[in-house]
Structure 1
């Protein structure tokens, strides 16, 4: 039996971000690299991508969104992947067509979980507990700080 726990407090090397659908799935595909937020207070590094319970119904009718999520299930209330936040900057026009906010969070290195993990994320960057990180590591064993 292998030990999947990390020696480091997960809050020190990985955080979580909750994103409404369909935006969470757009990020998961890697086509959308920008998450729009009102605050620049987001530490760089790895984030669990958590699909929130809310759905932006108007966004489902946007052609860019519809093409990006076509054929995909829109999970809700679950961690669906992991991505690396590499930059946070004010809206300067560079991030079109996904840009629509005061600050842009730029995500790269997206890894999708084969099995979404039900979870109750929250607004803002949140620190995942060890048991949630362990569940993610079962699916992505190479994921490390």
Structure 2
């Protein structure tokens, strides 16, 4: 008996977002929001791509250290998917209560974060990029219950 294949939406429905380590892995561990210097108009599904660079000073942050404990910090690979639901300018500590929210930054709000069991090697770009159909297929092969 064969497993039904997910029917993907037509057109422009997914992007890749390249994030330096350890921040990409922190997102898989529950970091929300993702801080950015500028607003993002894109809403929808994103591939979480760990960039080639590791921000070593961030490893000394207790919040980061706790989030990544026991996890491998893959570089140059898609390590998960998430749904980008909002982007807003920091609204102060009363509105943005997450310990991850950077004051004065734009906050990318992520939902439905799913980690891949095996990273998929890929070349990302900044700020957001269109993944190839082959890359999307490789990622979705690991997420048989994914429904965009």
1:59 partner SS: helix
- Is the contact made by 1:42 and 1:125 (CA closer than 8 Å) also made in structure 2? no
User: Residue 24 of structure 2 corresponds to which residue in structure 1?
Assistant: 24
1:42-75 C-alpha deviation (Å, 9 max, x unpaired): 3111100000011111100000000110000000
Are residue 141 (structure 1) and residue 147 (structure 2) matched?
no
State the distance in 1 between where 2:51 and 2:17 align: 9
User: Residue 36 of structure 2 corresponds to which residue in structure 1?
Assistant: 37
| CA displacement at 1:7 relative to structure 2 | 6.2
State the distance in 2 between where 1:66 and 1:15 align: 28
State the distance in 1 between where 2:7 and 2:54 align: 33
State the distance in 2 between where 1:142 and 1:8 align: 18
User: Residue 52 of structure 2 corresponds to which residue in structure 1?
Assistant: 53
| CA displacement at 1:142 relative to structure 2 | 2.8
Normalising by the residue count of structure 2, what TM-score does the alignment of the two structures yield?
A: 0.88
Unaligned runs of 5+ in 1: none
Aligned length: 142
Normalising by the residue count of structure 1, what TM-score does the alignment of the two structures yield?
A: 0.90
State the distance in 2 between where 1:57 and 1:42 align: 30
| CA displacement at 1:141 relative to structure 2 | 2.3
More helix by share: 1
Distance 1:105 1:95, change over 3 A: farther
User: Residue 132 of structure 1 corresponds to which residue in structure 2?
Assistant: 135
1:80-100 C-alpha deviation (Å, 9 max, x unpaired): 000011110001121441122
Unaligned runs of 5+ in 2: none
- Is the contact made by 2:6 and 2:147 (CA closer than 8 Å) also made in structure 1? no
